[in-house]
Each structure stands twice: as C-alpha cells, then as structure tokens.
Structure 1
Amino acid sequence: MRTARSHLAPAGIAAVLALTVSATTPTAAQSATGPTAAQAAGAVRPVAAPGAATALSVQAFHASAQDRAYLRQAHRGNLAEIAAGQAALRRSHDRDVREIAWRLIRDHRKLDARLREVARRLRVGLPDAPNAAQRDSLDAVLARRSGHRFDRAWLRLQTEAHEQTLTLIRRELRHGHSGWVRDLARDGAPVVRHHLDEVRTELDHHTR
C-alpha cells in the first residue's frame, strides 16, 4: 500500500500544478488575438500617435505674421486709450466723461497686462508708445478745445478708436493662428464693445 501511494503522489501534485498554471497564464492564442483582462478593463492606456503632442505644442507656441501684427497693434491701441483717458481726467469737468475715462484706463491696463505676457511667451517685441497717427489725433483734441467742445471731440475720438479695435479683433479671429492670441482677441471683444456703447451713448447726449 505504501508503494502505491508513493507512485500516485507525484502524479497528483503534477495535476494540481498543471491546473494552477493553466488558470493563471494566458494562452498563446489569447496573447496573439486579443487584449488581456487588465487591458480590456482599461488598466493599460493606449499610446498616443507619434507626433501628436509635438504638433499641439508647435501650434500653441507659434505666432503667425497676423498674430504678431495683432499683438503690436492692440498694444499700441491700449497705450493710446490709457493716454486718452488720462488726458480726459486732466481736461474734462464732465462727471460722466471722467467716469468713462477712468474705466478706459482701468480696463485697457488689464487687457494690456495679459497681452504683454502672451507677447513675452511668444517672443514678440512690442512698441513702447502709440503710433504717430494716434498721438496726432489726441494732440488735435487737446490743442484747441476745452469744456463741452473738448468732451465732444474726445468722445468722437474714442468712438473711432474703439471701432478700429473691433476691426482688429475680427481680423485676428478670422485669420489668427495662435490659440493664445486668439483668446486675447475673443476675451477683449466684449470689453471694447462695452466701451464703444458707453462712448456712443454719451456722445449722443452731448450732441443734443
């Protein structure tokens, strides 16, 4: 009897081992034809296509000629609006005009701070002053006018300036490449439109 048990024991152990291995190890067919259970459950994430991340990075960091032009022109516009607002605070005695001037200074400083940060990231150089036409337009308002005449001329100038800025914004949204710059234009549009509405309303009041 001992001899019989000694022959059967190794056979029983081998059978148990065979069952254990078959239960825990994928078959060759499973490995070749389908995902493992862990992969099917989402434990293993698919690898992104080569070059996809690189393409997104290039798009994020690249500024086209249109983007660079917008950054420079919008920056000049912000500087011109800030200067115009400061001039109105010095020259106008109308409470509503002065309130508009204060809002122009505050809002265009905020817009320009964000614009300068985007320009820095994209390595776009910015001018340090409004252009000659913008300076001449403000000088013409300041040179020969005071009181209500100054207020009307100043409001007309702000109407034209904000209409031009909206044109710049629409051009960037149609033709711009950089997502950062397009976001600047998109977020700035409602601010500029609000300024324009205020200026037009006040101009109507001053021309009655």
Structure 2
Amino acid sequence: MFSRYLLAAVTVTAALLAPATTAPAARRLDPDAAFLRTAHQGNLAQIALGRITVRRATDPAIRRLGARFAADSVRLDLAVRAAARSLDIELDQEPNSTVQQSIMVYRSAPDADFDQFFVSSQAMLHDQAARVVRTELNDGDEVAARRIAQRTLTVIRKHRAVLGHFGQ
C-alpha cells in the first residue's frame, strides 16, 4: 500500500515541477517567468504539505520538519512574488490542479505510513526542485529570478541534509 502512495507522490511531484506549457497569450514565456511560476506553485505545495504533515505525522521530529518546510516556503514565496511583480510576471493566486492533487495524496496517505511517506516524497520533491533551480541558474538572465534560484538552492540543500538524517 505504501508503494502505491509513493508512486502517486512521484507522479504528482514530476507534474508539479514540470514547467507550465499552457498559458494565456499575455503571459511571458521566457525561462525566468517559467521558473518563477513553477517556484510559486512549488512553494504553495510545500506550504500545504508541510501544514498537513504538522497535523498527521506521528514523529514529533517529522512534525517539526513539516512546519520548517512550510515556513521556509512562505519566506521563499514572498521573494518569488516580489520578483514576479518587479518583472511584470503574472502568478496564479491559487494552487493549480497538480498542487491540489498532491494535497489530496498527502491527505489520503495511510496514518501508519505517513511519516515514511513524507520523508520519501520530500526527498524526491527536493531533488526534482534542485534540477529546476539549476536550470534557471544555467538559462535564466533576470538577476531577480537568479537570486531567488540561488536562495532556493541553499534552502533545498539544508532540507536535503535534514532528510538525510531520516534515511533519505
């Protein structure tokens, strides 16, 4: 049963971090805009998933980790929103359908497996997020977006180090 939820998390994570391919014509489609939109949705996901973890995890250390991930994502998203405003990039105000799906997966994960599910899925999510960030650092040209990417990579590395203490 756990493997079914882990597979669902992998699928959701991959979809969450894929750049948006459909956008209104008025939206900028450059790499920096795509990165900021993806980072924003990733932050919305991390905030929601972290809050779910605070309520559902049985291990107090995992609950604290969920709270930390959510708080770090709130701070990162403030910077993402500010950069998007300065670059005239429109961000969705609500979580997209992929983020909503990931929230449903977290909510429906079995209680007995939740802590392990959180650690495993977060390890994958952070690894994929790091790839998205590195793409921005390689391809982006807007200083504001690149600064956020560098800051995000620092947070990802810290989170991965903590996840490593749980065997991931």
Please give the range of the TM-score, normalised by the shorter of the 2 chains.
0.7 to 0.9
1:66: Cα distance to partner? Answer: 0.1
Matched, 1:151 2:115: yes
Whether the 8 Å CA contact 1:80–1:134 is kept in 2: the answer is yes
Match of 1:171 in 2: 135
1:138: Cα distance to partner? Answer: 3.5
Alignment of 1:6-17 (within 5 A): none
CA distance in 1, matches of 2:78, 2:100: 21
Alignment of 1:1-208 (within 5 A): 65-147=30-112, 149-202=113-166, 204=167
CA distance in 1, matches of 2:42, 2:109: 23
Larger Rg: 1
1:99: Cα distance to partner? Answer: 1.1
Match of 1:30 in 2: none
CA distance in 1, matches of 2:111, 2:29: 44
CA distance in 2, matches of 1:84, 1:138: 6
Whether the 8 Å CA contact 1:67–1:177 is kept in 2: the answer is yes
Where 1:129 maps in the other structure, the secondary structure is: coil
CA distance in 2, matches of 1:103, 1:140: 20
CA distance in 1, matches of 2:44, 2:87: 20
1:128: Cα distance to partner? Answer: 2.4
* Structure 1: 4+ residue segments shifted above 3 A: none
Whether the 8 Å CA contact 1:64–1:176 is kept in 2: the answer is no
1:199: Cα distance to partner? Answer: 1.9
Whether the 8 Å CA contact 2:52–2:106 is kept in 1: the answer is no
Number of aligned positions between the proteins = 141
TM-score normalised per structure 1: 0.63
1:179: Cα distance to partner? Answer: 0.8
1:71: Cα distance to partner? Answer: 0.2
Match of 2:18 in 1: none
Equivalent AA in structure 2 for residue 153 of structure 1 = F
CA distance in 1, matches of 2:155, 2:95: 20
CA distance in 1, matches of 2:109, 2:84: 37
Alignment root-mean-square deviation, CA: 1.7
Whether the 8 Å CA contact 2:50–2:67 is kept in 1: the answer is yes
CA distance in 2, matches of 1:176, 1:64: 12
Q: Give structure 2 stretches of 5+ with no counterpart.
A: 1-27
CA distance in 2, matches of 1:138, 1:160: 16
1:183: Cα distance to partner? Answer: 0.9
